[in-house]
Amino acid sequence: MALKHLMSPLDLSVEELETMMDLADDIRSHPEKYAHVCDGKRLATLFYEPSTRTRLSFEAAMMNLGGTVLGFSSADNSSAAKGESVADTIRVVSCYADIAAIRHPKEGAPLVASMKSLIPVINAGDGGHQHPTQTLTDLLTIRNLKGHFEGLTIGLCGDLKFGRTVHSLITALSRYHNIQFCLISPPELRVPSYVIEELKEKGIPYAEVVRLDEDTMKGLDILYMTRVQKERFFNEEDYIRMKDFYVLDREKLEQAPKDMYIMHPLPRVNEISVEVDDDPRAQYFFQAQCGVYIRSALIMTLLGLAKEN
């Protein structure tokens, strides 16, 4: 595969993505086969802002392959605090590690790193811009749950305005046939117009609704819940009004189809009640697991260790 770095989910063609997901599935079914493929290899996790979940997922993904990890988990205990540029940091890290995952609050920082790097760079989230491994995780999860993407109706619920995972997922899924979207959000948190324009241009059917009820959930294959992020709001009042707009509890779930799977990028706040966790349709912990498999597959691919089968 010609892929050198991963900056955006669209860096991968549909075929390349299929190959990578096949590898992720094989890692999941035969972990022992892959336990030493990265022996002697090092992953650097350069996290300029804390994101424990994503960092641990990357570290587990590397360790499952026999590799080791090093790095920092926030800017204040790193060279960045001393004013070192991203470009310089990656050049130095290129001497210590074989591959790097970078999270940075500024948009485009991982791209800057990839332009100066001697080793493959993975964008592990750059502000509100891209978070490609989350999108790959979501796709792998959906493929595992449904077996395919064609003809699926995907419901996306919550903060659709600021939630970048939602925008990336819509774009990534738009490449498959007969996909449909149901966009469920309060009027204040509707998807941005450029996303709607994109759907219209590609002729992809979508509906925008406010209520998460029986009628809305009818016909959904996946219900993807998102959290309303406090930092997106200018005042506390708006946030409080929005944060409990949707709460998926057992009672609500009774109105949902039997084969409608629930996903969530985690961490959750109130939008999915804990009592739902035991329902077989709740798949957000499986989703977190898929995140490790796809990151393992990605690391192998970028290191040139994924054999074409």
Partner 1 sequence: MLNIGAIKEGFVLDHIKAGKAMTIYHDLRLDKLDCTVAIIKNAQSSKMGRKDIIKVECSIDYLDLDVLGFIDHNITVNVIKDEEIIEKRALKLPSQVVDVIKCHNPRCITSIEQGLHHIFVLTDEKTETYRCKYCEEAARKRD
Enumerate binding residues for partner 1 (CB under 8 A): 85-87, 104-109, 111-112, 126-129
Catalytic residue among 104, 131, 143, 295: 131
Q: Respond yes or no: is residue 53 known to be catalytic.
A: yes
Q: Which residue has the tokens 């800057």?
A: 112
103 classed as catalytic: yes
Nearest Cα to 254, choosing from 226, 271, 287, 276? 276
DSSP 222: E
The residue among 126 and 138 lying less far from partner 1, judged by its C-beta, is 126
**Annotated catalytic residue: which of 45, 54, 89, 137?**
54
Q: Which residue number, 111 or 139, has a Cβ lying nearer to partner 1?
A: 111
Instruction: Reply yes or no on whether 227 is catalytic.
Output: no
Closer of 31 and 128 to partner 1 (Cβ):
128
Nearest residue to 22 (alpha-carbon basis) of 308, 256, 232, 237? 308
Q: Which 8-state DSSP code applies to residue 282?
A: B
* Cβ 33 to partner 1 shortest distance, Å: 39
Q: From the candidates 82, 177, 258, 307, which is the catalytic residue?
A: 82
**CB 262, CB 225: distance < 8 Å:** yes
Report in angstroms how near the CB of residue 166 gets to partner 1 at its nearest: 17
**216 an active-site residue?**
no
Reported for 280-284, long-range contacts at CB under 8 A and 24+ positions apart, including other chains, are 281/253, 281/256, 283/141, 283/145
Strands 261-263 and 222-225 turn out to be parallel
DSSP 8-state symbol, 39: T
Q: How many C-beta atoms lie closer than 10 Å to residue 273's C-beta? A: 15
Nearer to partner 1, 77 or 194 (CB): 194
Q: Given the complex with partner 1, which of 63 and 196 has the nearer CB atom?
A: 196
Residue 169 in tokens: 């997922």
| Residue 217, C-beta contacts closer than 8 angstroms, at least 6 positions apart | 155, 223, 255, 256, 257, 260
Which of 5, 41, 55, 103 is catalytic? The answer is 103
Catalytic residues: 53-54, 82, 103, 131
